[in-house]
Structure 1
Amino acid sequence: MLKIIGKATSINVRKVLWTCVELGLPFEREEWAEQHAALNPNRMVPVLVDADFVLWESNAICRYLCNRDGGQALLPLDARERALVEQWMDWQATELNNAWRYAFMALVRHSPAHGDPALVAASVDGWNRHMGLLDAQLGTTGAWVTGSGFTLADVVLGLSANRWLMTPMNRPDYPHLTSWLERLGQREGFRLHGRNGIP
C-alpha cells in the first residue's frame, strides 16, 4: 500500500491525498517524524513511499500517481492537453505561491518576520491579481481549469483557492471562480481534503 508522509492539514499533502481519492488508490498516511529525514533531503512533506520507491515534491507525486495508475483523465496523454495541465500546475507552484506567501505568513501564521503593512498589502494585491487570472481562465473554459474535463490542474489550484478564501483579507468578487468552487464541492476528494474536511 502507498504510504504518504505528512500532516493532513498541509496544503501540499492534501494535493496528494485528494489525487489518491480521485484515482481510487488506497493509502496510509503517516505523520512526519525525525526518522523520515533521510527520505527527503529538504526535510519537507509530502513524501511518498511506494514499496522501495521514494518520491518528494507534491506535484511530482501527483503526476507519478497518474502515470502509475492510469490516471489519463487527470493527466492526459495527448501532448498539448498534458502541457496545459502541467502549465497551470507549474504556475500554481511558482507564480501563485510567490504572490500569497508574505500575506499568508502575516495574516494566518502571524509571523513576526512578516509584519510590514506595505508588504502585506502588496502581497494581498498580487494574490488577488493572480486569482483574477484564474477567474478569467475559468470564464474562458466555462468548466474546469484547462477545459471541459477535471484534471490535476483543478486539484492543485482548488487547494490554492481554498487557502485564498480562508485568509482574512479583502477579496474581489470572481464569479467564475465561485462557480468552479461549487463544482469542486461536489467531488468527494475536495470535500475530504480540499477544505480540510469542512463540508
Structure 2
Amino acid sequence: MTVKRSRPSGTHHGDLRNALEQAALALVAEKGAHGFTLAEACRRAGVSVAAPYKHFADRDALLVSLALKGYEKQRRRYRSALAAHTEPVEQLAAFAAAYVRFAIEERALFAITFLAGLDKIRHPELAEAGSLLHDDLTPVTGQITGDAESALDLLVKVAAAAHGLALFHQQDMLPGDRSSPDWAEDQAARAARALAAHYTLS
C-alpha cells in the first residue's frame, strides 16, 4: 500500500512564516527587491496564495519583516566589529569593512533593507531599527569629532562611502584585481580612516 504525501498547504505548513521569508529571499536574490510578487513567493514556498495573509498583510509587510531581520543582523555584525578594537578610528574602520561584508554575504537582505523603497512612514519600525544602528555608532564618531552634530556628519560620510563600495562590488563596477571582496572592505576601512582624520585635524 502506497501512502500519498500531501503537499504543504497554507493551513498545514509547519513553519509558514519562515517558509515565505526564505522564498522571498531566494526570489530577491534572483530578481531583485522589486522583481517578484507575493503569489510567486507562495509558489516557491509550496503554499496556497491565501496562506501569506495569516502573517503578512501584503508583499511589503513580508519585505518589512525581512528588512527588520537585516537590521538586526547588521547590528550584531557592527557590534562585533566595534568590540574588536578600542581606538575609535579603528572601530569606525571596522564598521565600514563590516558594512561592505554584510552587503556581499547577505546580498538579498541588503537589497531588501536598503533598495526596496519600503515606506518608513507606513512602517515606523524600520526607522526605529535604523536609529538603533546610529545609537551604537555615534558614540564612536563622537569620540573623534567631539560634538554630536559633527559625529552624525562623520557617520553619514563613512556609511555613504561603504555603501557606494558595496554597490560597486555588487554591480561588478570595480575593475580587475579591485573586484575582490577583500579589496572593497579594505577600501571602505581606508575611507573611514581618511574621513576621521579630517575631523581629527580640523
Same fold (TM > 0.5): no
Normalised by the length of structure 2, the TM-score is: 0.28
Normalised by the length of structure 1, the TM-score is: 0.29
Bigger proportion of residues as strand = 1
